[in-house]
Amino acid sequence: MPAGVKYGGRKKGTPNKVTAQMKALVKDALTVHLYRLEEYLDELPTKDRLDVIAKLLPYIMPKATETVEIIQHNKPPTWFEATEDVPRPKELPPKD
């Protein structure tokens, strides 16, 4: 049998029946309890309530990621190039 050739079985992208059934069961179970979530949280002590909320947050809000911009220069800037954007001070009046 040549490598990469598939004969029979599920076609690519076809979901596993057991996995689909388990997802449906979990979804149904959570949907029933989702309506009572606020009541459940109110019954918990404050520390446990905050712990549950902290664990659920990643499913509601994505985690923030830090973006770092790296600028590469072919040569280091000279003093004159680095200060081109800096406004020059006004000339002082001549001293008597």
Residue boundaries of the structural domains of the chain: 17-82
| Whole-number pLDDT of residue 33 | 81
Q: Is the pLDDT score of 60 beyond 60? A: yes
Output the CA–CA distances (angstroms, integers) from residue 10 to 2, 15, 22, 50, 61, in the order listed: 18, 8, 18, 44, 35
Token reading at 64: 């923030």
Highest average pLDDT, of 36-40, 42-46, 69-73, 81-85, comes from 42-46
What pTM, to 2 d.p., does this model score?
Answer: 0.40
Type of residue numbered 14: T
Rg (CA), the chain: 32
| Whole-number pLDDT of residue 42 | 92
Worst-scoring range by mean pLDDT, 31-35, 59-63, 83-87? Answer: 83-87
Output the CA–CA distances (angstroms, integers) from residue 78 to 70, 72, 82, 92, in the order listed: 19, 15, 6, 26
